[in-house]
Structure 1
């Protein structure tokens, strides 16, 4: 029986010592038997190196950045070190189910080489039971397959692809694309997919094969900067689809409004909301939750200020 193609698993991490072992263990439990696991430590300061050396020894390849460079750079370091025919990405706060790699590689192996990547269904865990409930009642669109015809769904946020942890990609394709764009601190997966779909086709495995955990909120600065870069890089695509009647800018303004509200910047959030397209019902709920979070943030900050003043 022929040896199955080598798959390189790339796990970028930064200060996630409590979550990282679950991700690594889920990669080690894969039923696929020809894996190399590459953990790229983006200059963690929480004892990640010591933990990995003690717990995993020769089971993984450990690489470390000497300064913090961001998730995209960490993934690119993993791509450069990879020896496999395929590369599978796993965020350090997510977990794979045991048959994920096996089923996604099998899907690619049965297709022609113009199918360059696969993604799969997933379970999204949420810190808010209300958001998780609405996710179940009003699920986002998923299951699309193809090439350039999927660009519309990506641009209009109608494509629940699951992010980097969902993807298994041909290494030759990633090299042709020069990997991830290291300027992006957010939207890295969408940015890569938009370029990938202009290069080849994306296949789908219709099974929940990993758990995507909601482990924290990105900084407002990273969100705003990455949104600006995204609009600049894909300005011609965005213009093309807006001429067809899709309000891409309005969708992005809605997302930015939500992040400003979450950080208690209600006036700025309102400015973007007035320029936003009308959201789906499920998204309107997330804006309300963002407003509630912003109010709590402002109250907590006010309490700290008053307490600090009285202490002086």
Structure 2
């Protein structure tokens, strides 16, 4: 490895030594070897430090924070510690396929703007099925807030960005940090703010190069449903969304979080929010009604039947 790595991989973790070690090994196994892996341990965690020390690769650095600050803060601290021109983010419970960084760097070299964000498709793995997301890439001229939020069918995943797929200039991540304290939609919030920068564009690698483990029997942020917190964030960041995107987010993402309340008041509040400040389309109304009518487990099974497919061949 040269003294200055091209890419810094930032992995936040806490109290999941086996998962963190798996993520680190997938980063160190990249075909682009001139990288460093910066693991930010989000508070005292002797077990994780011991597990990482056993890996024995000089490209691995471990930063242990004195107290817990959650994943957005850990990512920000990792970007500050990064030595590479590029920083690639990897959640501790995900894995990369070996050519991810090599492929992203090749795409970055074709960018028309100085600070490209390069994402990839990914394989979303649940106990029932593998699906490739996003199912489509942004159309030319399509507002990215609409790409991320407006569905073309009843289920999420048409347009999508996930933390472990993101590689961006290190200086951009320092200038536009993740929002500390936001529990859900951290990458959406970051991406919508980052692409407002004048020299930034978003590029997508067409092939899935990330394995996103959605183990439903394990606690993870994406299974939490802080809908009131998310509504407050949405209202405070209305300028990041077109009216079409604002309505779609309210009637799909927010509704998915709020529907378990089975509250008619919340149902009416979100419908009013979407109609007052957004511009719902027909698919948004259909999505909204099926989210509130069907239990989450039923929706998940239907989604797997309709859009799921086994992607084992893509992984091995």
What range describes the TM-score normalised by the shorter chain of this pair? 0.7 to 0.9
Distance change (3 Å), C-alpha of 1:7 and 1:227: same
Distance change (3 Å), C-alpha of 1:160 and 1:236: closer
Residues 158-208 of structure 1 show CA distances to partners (whole Å, capped at 9, x for unaligned) of 65434110011012222232x111121221100000011212210011111
Q: Which moved more, 1:3-12 or 1:85-94?
A: 3-12
Question: Contact 1:38–1:61 at 8 Å: present in 2 too?
Answer: yes
Question: Contact 1:126–1:213 at 8 Å: present in 2 too?
Answer: yes
Residue 288 of structure 1, aligned match among 275, 282, 295: 295
Where do 5+ consecutive residues of structure 1 fail to align?
294-312
Secondary structure of 2:226's match? Answer: helix
The aligned counterpart of 1:241 is 243
Bigger radius of gyration: 1
Distance change (3 Å), C-alpha of 1:140 and 1:111: closer
> 1:67: Cα distance to partner?
1.1
Residues 135-173 of structure 1 show CA distances to partners (whole Å, capped at 9, x for unaligned) of 57xx75432267872122224366543411001101222
The aligned counterpart of 1:230 is 233
Distance 1:117 1:290 in 2: 34
TM-score by length of 1: 0.76
The aligned counterpart of 1:123 is 123
The aligned counterpart of 1:153 is 147
The aligned counterpart of 1:307 is none
Distance 2:246 2:90 in 1: 36
Distance 2:45 2:293 in 1: 33
> 1:287: Cα distance to partner?
4.7
Residue 285 of structure 2, aligned match among 278, 281, 291: 278
Q: Which runs of 4+ in 1 moved over 6 A?
A: 2-5, 145-148, 219-222
The aligned counterpart of 2:258 is 257
Q: How many residue pairs were aligned?
A: 275
Distance 2:124 2:196 in 1: 28
Q: Which structure dedicates a bigger proportion of its chain to helix? A: 1
Question: Contact 1:11–1:92 at 8 Å: present in 2 too?
Answer: yes
TM-score by length of 2: 0.75
Distance 1:81 1:160 in 2: 31
